[in-house]
Chain A
């Protein structure tokens, strides 16, 4: 079903050359539709694809910046190294674990927060600001706070609070957590969930506030329970925002670097792919290998995203009929 354009069609015109006229009008129509898209598309192609091609080229080279005279073409050697190196494979697994857990947990909490904030109560604006605060802090500063001020086993707030709470009950032997050494993945996940929940909350809140209230009113007038309204009206409407938040969050958290770098320096099995690439670039100075790893990440993410978008996500499905 084509929507009518703003231009008024002239009945007389079509009579002479219907097919050619119709085709050129169709083409003009198509270009008029494309026009608004072009600036963004062209800009992005120029600024991202050229570096990508360069990275691709470098990935086929054996280039160690500390031995510049030994730079040479290496074919697929770097890719072989990337795919067989156990550390890089561990990094892949870590990345997946990190991304899935952070996205799911922060979506869940973000949903709860958005639902709460959608209601009107005293001081809602302030509460909302406090909840966005974790997302506003510079990520590297946030990671430093988590590492030194909160999680530090000797000086951190978490252990300090535990000591204080236990002392209230008269005990001097409070359990002291050492997340950074004993459960470093949890520490990284914790700090990332803390940081990204506001992002999910923002998206879901904007989604909640764009839902049609008339159906909700009508349902309430008809005596539907809040849970019923949530399940049958709110959640379906929110589904595409949940997917949007999940997809965008995943893309960002796959790339996350500051948290791993600051909290654990990639130690104890927490090195994810961006960190592994960083190490290869800046410690090993193996530019070719690091570029190859980057390309592998892109290909892997494309495969996963294609699969996700075609099967699990409904973001594209219902709109395709438009």
Chain B
């Protein structure tokens, strides 16, 4: 009898707790969701966003009285949730972190509200925003649909000390052949250190972000201007084979699963001497507690047939068209992308953590220049990135490391599976690209003029 009584009391107790808790949860929810002075923001969990979340209550909410409820998710998850939310205009979130990839076609579908009010505000100073971003976030109708939170291009990061010890110098604008050469020479410079770290993880935004820039500078392209797929063309193939060979010979272990974080880890732990990736990585490498602070040199994204090859990317704020709190949302966006916010971060967390890469004034700020030794390289990379003309031939759609069509996410990810397999040594580049060509042509056919 006793065990049953215990079980019954346990169950009853749990029920009471649950009911009272649900009452609390429900009550709390009602207040914040329906409250006109609160907005909901859905964003990716990059460090800059996490800092934003940290600083909101004490600053934005205090000043304006608007409470911000955040939902933070990893990139793939947040993309999925954003796509579902915005395509159905569910109205659960007022603001979301989108990129210069989605904003053009999301706005074309009418899912976003224009941010002209924010841009028109002189305090916001839209002219201070790098023109490349303003252009890439403008919709077909000429209205601005996104405000950048931070921007990045890509460049080559290398260990100055390791190269010096070997008597090597890295030119400011290296070619890929030079980089491969140096990688071979510094491979194994320290125990466990590899020559270079390059992404290999499947995903259109993982391996194909750097790889597409390599394809561009080798003279290849995903589609020619008539939407003929060029995935297994000689130049594209050459580029992918070069990349695969470099990674397999002098790249990190487990390259087929290595994404941004793995390479960041490797670089920070001195497991690699060079790394070609996003300029935003430099902030983490030059942070206070980074083991390699001060040891990194920065060179432009390696080229071959073009004069530049860095990509262009920005995580931006976009407002859902179905949002019922557009005024409050606009205030939030104006604050998060403002100069004041950058200075706030600088004073609270240091200049290296500022969400940079979007404002000219930041680059010209001497304190930022001191804390971010990479600022010149970064600014040069961003200003020389041309989404309309990134390679050796005309393109049918904008985008440097992506093709600005909705189908590219699936296409790029699809083809990347084969490339990752090749990097893992389980399949040939030729096969991967042959399959990729088929898939790409299907997409191209959809866009060809009848």
Contacts and interface: CB of A to CB of B under 8 A. Distances in A.
Is there a direct interface between A and B, measured as CB atoms under 8 Å apart in the complex? yes
Interface stretch (B56-64, B229-237, B252-260): B252-260
A237 to B, nearest CB: 24
Interface string A125-159: 00000000000000000000001000011110000
A310 B423 CA distance: 46
29 contacts: A64-B406, A66-B83, A66-B406, A67-B109, A154-B192, A154-B253, A154-B266, A155-B265, A178-B254, A180-B257, A181-B254, A181-B425, A182-B424, A265-B201, A266-B202, A267-B257, A267-B417, A267-B421, A268-B256, A268-B421, A268-B426, A278-B80, A279-B410, A279-B413, A282-B76, A282-B80, A282-B84, A284-B407, A285-B410
A154 B254 contact: yes
A267 B410 contact: no
Contacts of B417: 266-268, 271
Which 7 A-B residue pairs are closest in the complex by CB-CB distance?
Answer: A284-B410, A267-B202, A66-B406, A282-B80, A153-B254, A65-B87, A153-B253
Greatest chain A CB density within 10 A among B192, B252, B262 is at B262
A305 B149 CA distance: 52
B219 interface: no
Contacts of B414: 87
A178 B83 contact: no
A66 B111 CA distance: 10
A166 to B, nearest CB: 15
A264 interface: yes
B417 to A, nearest CB: 5
A267 B423 CA distance: 12
B424 A66 contact: no
Interface string A250-285: 000000000000001111110100000011111111
A264 B257 contact: yes
Contacts of A285: 83, 87, 406, 410
Given A180-B257, A268-B256, 5 more contacts: A65-B83, A66-B87, A267-B201, A268-B420, A285-B406
Interface size class of B (residues with CB under 8 A): 35 or more
A39 interface: no
Given A68-B87, A180-B257, A282 B79 contact: yes
A176 interface: yes
B379 interface: no
Nearest to B254: A153
Interface in B77-136: 79-80, 83-84, 87-88, 105, 109
B271 interface: yes
Interface in B406-440: 406-407, 409-410, 413-414, 416-417, 420-421, 424-426
B195 interface: no
Contacts of A67: 109, 406
A123 B421 CA distance: 47
A68 B83 CA distance: 12
- Chain B interface main SS type: helix
B410 A283 contact: yes
Contacts of A68: 87, 109
A181 B80 CA distance: 26
Given A265-B202, A265-B203, A283-B410, A154 B271 contact: yes
A279 B412 CA distance: 12
Nearest to B80: A282
Contacts of A153: 253-254
Interface in A57-96: 64-68, 87
B396 to A, nearest CB: 17
A152 B256 CA distance: 11
A181 B410 CA distance: 22
B252 A154 contact: yes
Contacts of B421: 267-269
Contacts of A182: 424-426
Contacts of A268: 256, 417, 420-421, 424, 426
A267 B201 CA distance: 8
Nearest to A285: B83
Contacts of A267: 201-202, 256-257, 416-417, 420-421
B257 A181 contact: yes
Contact of B105 (A66, A176, A282): A66
A152 B271 CA distance: 13
Contacts of A283: 409-410, 413
A158 to B, nearest CB: 12
A64 B201 CA distance: 26
A280 B413 CA distance: 11
Interface string A295-321: 000000000000000000000000000
A154 to B, nearest CB: 6
Interface in A226-266: 264-266
Contact of A181 (B84, B87, B203, B256): B256
A310 B177 CA distance: 64
Greatest chain B CB density within 10 A among A66, A67, A155, A267 is at A267
Contacts of B271: 154
Interface string B173-184: 000000000000
B80 to A, nearest CB: 4
A269 B256 CA distance: 13
Contacts of B409: 283-284
Nearest to B421: A268
B201 A176 contact: no
A172 to B, nearest CB: 9
Contacts of B203: 265
A266 to B, nearest CB: 7
A29 B336 CA distance: 69
Greatest chain B CB density within 10 A among A66, A155, A180 is at A66
Contacts of B254: 152-154, 178, 180-181
A160 to B, nearest CB: 12
Given A68-B109, A267-B420, A282 B201 contact: no
